[in-house]
Amino acid sequence: MTRPLVIFDGYCNLCNRSVDFIVKRDHQCIFRFVAFQSVAGAFLSEVFKIPSEPQSVMLISDGKIYQQSEAALLIASMLKKPWSWLGFFRIIPKALRDPIYNLVATNRYRWFGKRQVCRMPTEEERRLFPSVEELKLEFPGFKLPV
């Protein structure tokens, strides 16, 4: 079984802080991370037919892709307590959760700011950010568009 992949907006300050939050609390290195804007992100966009400008964090786990509040709550549920307790909110229907998620996602640059350059992993984080070559081994048969 492969480790879950969190796909995030590498320019978004809120998204980058969320990645920092997860990395700090993911002591077992469960998660891997890919910025939408990276070459690895372009490859995953092709594999999973992700729109070019997604408005949501995404989680790829066990071959399935999760978006919006479902992705955020599943990520939280995989962390240690007390953060895993946030997964309890999955009992609330997506039709009620996602509009709140979408409000934040739509306003994320306005409220939290935007980086001038896409996030580059630090030397310590590099092992958590798979290369496109590693992803090609995980998802064989797919090629980057020319």
pLDDT tens-digit readout, 119-139: 888 888 889 999 888 888 887
pLDDT at res. 25: 93
pLDDT band at residue 32 using 50, 70 and 90 as cut-offs: very high
pLDDT at res. 1: 58
5 or 118, greater pLDDT: 5
Q: What is the pTM of this model?
A: 0.87
Query: Could you tell me the two tokens for 120?
Result: 């580059």
pLDDT tens-digit readout, 110-123: 999 998 888 888 88
Report long-range pairs for 44-50 (Cβ below 8 Å, ≥24 apart).
Answer: 44/5, 44/7, 44/135, 44/139, 46/142, 46/143, 46/144, 46/145, 47/135, 47/139, 47/142, 50/7
63 or 142, greater pLDDT: 63
Distance from C-alpha of 92 to C-alpha of 39, rounded to nearest angstrom? 35
pLDDT tens-digit readout, 12-31: 999 999 999 999 999 889 99
pLDDT band at residue 142 using 50, 70 and 90 as cut-offs: low
Beta bridge partners of 67: 58
